Amino acid sequence: MCVSVASAAMSASDAVRDVVMGFLPLSYAVPDAAHPGLMRAGERTGAPYGGESVESRPCRAIDLAASGAPSPDLLTMGFDVVDLASFDELQDVLGRVAAAGRVGDNDAARIRAALDGATLSCVGGYTLKVLHLAGEGLFMRTGGPNRLPVVPPESNGMNDHGAATSVHVDQDVYGTPLSQVMGGRAPELFRHDSPDGNNHDASLMLVNLWIPLHQVTQPLVLADGRSVDRRRHQLRYGLSTGSFLERDDEMAINDIWTMLHDPGQQWYFRSEMDHRSAYVFDTLSTPHGAGVLVGEELAERASVGLEAAEAAATVGDAAGVAHALAGIDVRTADVVGVTDSLGRALDRLAVAVDEARSDPEGVCDPSRRDEWLTRSQSARRNVVRTSIELRVVVSVDR
């Protein structure tokens, strides 16, 4: 049965949503001998994009798409939203990449060319001038609902990178590779907040530009940096880059940060967002990760069932279609806290499930099969999150 989720303007109280995020378990934290008084991630710790050593914790996050939600602020909170709608060439290539589900070398070159030297306007009122686009770090990330794996175990160049399974900060301003590339000057040149110190005077920032191609599930969730106790909850971690970056041996380990959970941390995401806008956040300071929304378990269950039903329908196996969809209920009427965008996506999944379950012989009939397969596959793709990210040096002006 398909039950529509009402689409109404949210009040300020409706802006707060439940999300589940991954953190480093406290038992995996060890003293950092090189930095007395601080902790680091122990040897058993998994990578922020892996499935091991992750502690799932419920968090409350403010939906920035809600009526009455606060505006982000790059310099005080560590992240902001920029408008990309007027960049026609960029929108053209992003639309092509979204449709293809992959980013190619020519796509990457066009994305970089469109942003090189660009002036970006932040929702928080800042103007960013793009001064440099990093030669590495342009990736396409893909994640299924409720952390359903939808990419191979190993990435392939810029593609087949999964969504972040745990909260992290992308770069240690004092560590590799910035210490080698910038001769140790990164802390004095870039604005940052770290457990070791900060720089609030620099006008240069190393930022991530995170562009959602489609984001109904697993939204990027970012922390307000002011709510983070960095000395207690931000831990150094050495990320091996051999599987996705070509670096010299001295820079093969990327120094990043992983995070412990604390109820005082404040989290933000945006439920209504596509490639007409993007997050810009401080690469050196802003904790972030993919969050799991209320209702994603329903989307996962329906997606898995529909994929199996599609395989059965393709070979005319009506009994297999019925078996694949038995017991799947995508109703959201009794589920509190589903975002409007995910509710609409669940409705589409429910339509495909209901059609096949009510008439499995019909969706196996060659005269109807292709139309149903197209609708079902489209509904499943609609709950897969895809995004493009790249690293940029910007100057910041009010």
Over residues 318-364, the pLDDT tens digits come to 999 999 999 998 887 678 899 999 999 999 999 999 999 999 999 99
Give the closest residue to 29 by CA, choosing from 232, 287, 195: 232
Cβ-based neighbour number of residue 331 at 10 Å: 14
- Torsion angle, CA of 388/193/63/126, rounded to 10 degrees? -80
Please check the confidence at residue 382 and state whether its pLDDT lies above 70: yes
Q: What is the pLDDT of residues 70-92, one digit of tens each?
A: 999 999 999 999 999 999 999 99
In the DSSP assignment, the letter for residue 329 is -
pLDDT at 334: 74
Tell me: cis bond preceding 72? Omega within 30 of 0 counts. Answer: no
- Average pLDDT value for residue range 274-286: 98
Q: Which of 339, 352, 107 is nearest to 215 (CA)?
A: 339
Res 194 pLDDT > 80: yes
Cα–Cα dist 24/359, whole Å: 47
Q: Are residues 327 and 247 in the same domain?
A: no
Same domain, residue pair 288 and 300: no
Contacts of residue 269, Cβ cutoff 8 Å, sequence gap at least 6? 17, 19, 61, 62, 63, 64, 219, 220, 221, 222, 291
Would you place residue 386 in the very low, low, confident or very high pLDDT band (cuts 50, 70, 90)? very high
- State pLDDT tens for residues 94-113: 999 999 999 999 999 999 99
- Is 9 a member of any domain? no
Helices (H), the chain: 88-100, 105-115, 178-181, 186-189, 230-233, 296-314, 318-325, 340-358, 360-364, 366-381
Distance of CA 213 to the CA centre of its chain: 11
Q: What integer pLDDT is reported at residue 247 of this predicted model?
A: 47
In a domain, 89, yes or no: yes
Q: State how far the Cα of 228 lies from the Cα of 244, in Å rounded to an integer.
A: 29
Helix (H, G, I), strand (E, B) or coil at 126: coil
Residue 369 sits in the same domain as residue 241? no
Q: In this prediction, what percent of the chain has a pLDDT beyond 90?
A: 83
Q: Are residues 259 and 314 in the same domain?
A: no
Q: Are residues 301 and 247 in the same domain?
A: no
The letter for the amino acid at 328 is I
- Cα separation, 104 vs 109, in Å, equals 9
Residues 6+ apart with CB under 8 A from 164: 22, 48, 49, 141, 288, 289, 290
- For the chain, percent of residues with pLDDT exceeding 70: 93
Q: Can you give the pLDDT at residue 50?
A: 75
pLDDT average, residue stretch 294-311: 97
Regarding whether 258 and 155 lie in a shared domain, the answer is yes
- pLDDT at position 250: 58
Indicate whether 371 belongs to any domain. yes
The pLDDT assigned to 227 comes to 98
pLDDT of residue 251: 54
Is residue 1 situated within a structural domain? Answer: no
Residue 113: burial class (beta carbons within 10 Å; 0-12, 13-18, 19+): middle
For 353, the domain range is 296-381
In a domain, 3, yes or no: no
**Tens digits of per-residue pLDDT, 231-265?**
999 999 987 754 444 545 555 578 999 999 999 99
Asked if 262 and 326 sit in the same domain, the reply is no
Which pLDDT score is estimated for 33?
A: 92
Distance (Å, whole) CA 224 – CA 173: 19
The dihedral region occupied by 53, where left means phi > 0, alpha psi between -120 and 50, and beta the remainder, is left
* Alpha-carbon Rg for the chain in angstroms: 22
Tokens 């990178």: give the residue.
Answer: 161
Judged against a pLDDT cut of 90, whether residue 136 lies above it is answered with: no
Q: Is residue 43 part of a domain?
A: yes
201 & 175 share domain: yes
If one counts the domains in the chain, the total is: 2
Q: Say what the alpha-carbon torsion angle 340, 144, 363, 354 is, to the nearest 10 degrees.
A: -40
Distance CA 323, CA 1 (A): 17
pLDDT at res. 362: 97
For residue 392, is pLDDT > 80?
yes
pLDDT at 7 over 60: no
Q: Give yes or no: residues 195 and 288 share one domain.
A: yes
pTM of the predicted model over 0.75: yes
12 pLDDT more than 60: no
What pLDDT sits at residue 241?
Answer: 52
CA angle, corner 44, sides to 255 and 262, nearest 5?
75
Q: So what's the pLDDT on residue 283?
A: 97
Give a yes or no: residue 178 inside a domain.
Answer: yes
CB 360 within 8 A of CB 322: yes
Residues 218 and 306 in one domain: no
For residue 311, pLDDT beyond 50: yes
pLDDT at position 13 is 61
In a domain, 5, yes or no: no
Same domain for 279 and 238 = yes
Predicted pLDDT at 203:
95
Domain identity same for 305 and 162:
no
CA-nearest of 355, 349, 371 to 322 is 355
Q: Between 83 and 14, whose confidence is greater?
A: 83
Nearest to 147 by CA among 310, 21, 302, 16: 21
The answer to whether 383 and 374 have CB atoms below 8 angstroms apart is no
Check residue 10 and give its pLDDT: 38
Rounded-to-integer distance, Cα 261 and Cα 27, Å: 12
Q: How confident is the model at residue 202 (pLDDT cuts 50, 70, 90)?
A: very high
Would you state the pLDDT for residue 4? Answer: 33
**Mean of pLDDT over the chain:** 91
Q: Is the pLDDT of residue 3 over 80?
A: no
Distance CA 93, CA 365 (A): 38
